[in-house]
Amino acid sequence: MSAVSSSVAKPLPFDEDFIRQLTEKYPTPFYIYDERAIRENARRLNAAFAWCDGFQEYFAVKATPNPHILNIMKEEGFGADCSSLAELVMCERVGITGDDVMFTSNNTKAEEYAKAVELGAIINLDDITHIPYLADSVKMPEQLCFRYNPGPLREGNTIIGKPEEAKYGFTKEQLFAGYRQARELGAKRFGLHTMVASNELNAEYFVETARMLFELAVELKKETDISLEFVNLGGGIGIPYRPGDQPVDLEHIGNGVKKLYDEMIKPAGLDPLNVLMENGRCITGPYGYLITSAIHEKHIYKDYVGVDACMANLMRPGMYGAYHHISVLGKENAAADTTCDVVGSLCENNDKFAIDRKLPKVEIGDLLVIHDAGAHGHAMGFQYNGKLRSAELLWKPDGSVQQIRRAETLDDYFATLDF
């Protein structure tokens, strides 16, 4: 594998002095989120779909499940996309309920459906067998949505994989049968959802997703006389993890979907049809950073920089081979003239944040910033090897920093054990 250079800098919103002051109160590793940037980004997405009166983004709670983050989303007019009981309860506790919650789960327990019904959430079913399961174990809600899996009609990507091999969603035949069955069981209002890619950087992909759902909406009306209230384009908008990558043009997506709406939905008499999305990564991902300290160096068959974070803090590089840019604070403009692996202390050889990465010379005590960790970072943490979850900090627009999750302690780790 050839060395990957970090000589092309990715900008940071803070400097070394700012982070060093934080480390006096909050030991590394910790996450810090830039609230101002998150809010500005949320407003860009809303503005891109301002043409649709019924547009709403349902923030994917799984990306950054923290009540302070959810409150920001609520204040920006977002709903919440939940996939578990815990996520439903978190939304309830911050006052996100009713149609502002989309419950998209799979292999779902009755108790989770019951909580979604209690909150008045929009339930998005993953399988046709869940229609009678929901009706028999809880009740048939008035409003229901189904997740469509287009199979070989669409291409997925490396994170989700091929749609025909994914465990999610209805086939097209099941979809039409499912709407008829749910209507017979008492459902009166319907939506349609899909999600077939993750971290996709091609804006046109999402326009074509809208085309696919609009075609289904028109066909469904003709065959069943059901008029959908909304289509949910899902999430999956990617972020530019690598220097040189370009962010997805949200305005291009919004304009492209509007053009299709005018061409397909209005002539079919389906206007108004609300357009929804459920992004997580592209909302918070670029504006969260994992801060870690260099604590060791090792020189054997290759050179290593050992840091006090590990794969338990950020598993994407080890799990997916995902790239996360790394900056060495105070050396942002220094030459990237050393090649090393940046590694943690987990007893697994894939516990590496970077492999053959070109960095400025890292010295013990240096602070490293792992970029683009604001989504699917802390949330995917685990406790193998007895690793404790790190703190989360929120950098507020007034310049203050608030701890929004404390670091775990050994007492937390042992709390569920019976000695």
- Catalytic residue set: 347
* Cα 277 → chain centroid: 12
Q: Residues 155, 162: contact at Cβ < 8 Å?
A: yes
State which amino acid sits at residue 131: I
How far is residue 81 from each of residues 57, 88, 101, 416, measured CA to CA in Å? 9, 9, 6, 29
- Rounded CA gap, 168 and 105, in Å? 9
HSE of 7, CA atoms in CB hemisphere, 13 A: 9
Cis preceding-peptide flag for 272 (omega within 30 of 0): yes
Look at the block and give the residue holding tokens 């990237």: 336
Most distant CA pair in the chain: distance in Å? 69
* Cα 313 → chain centroid: 16
Q: Residues 318, 384: contact at Cβ < 8 Å?
A: no
Q: Residues 340, 314: contact at Cβ < 8 Å?
A: no
Phi then psi for residue 46, to 5 deg, are -60, -40
Helix (H, G, I), strand (E, B) or coil at 75: helix
Residue ranges of alpha helices (H) inside 225-348 are 250-260, 281-284, 316-320
- Among 12, 27, 3, smallest CA distance to 331 is for 12
How far is residue 415 from each of residues 146, 407, 411, 418, 419, measured CA to CA in Å? 39, 15, 6, 8, 10
Cis preceding-peptide flag for 29 (omega within 30 of 0): yes
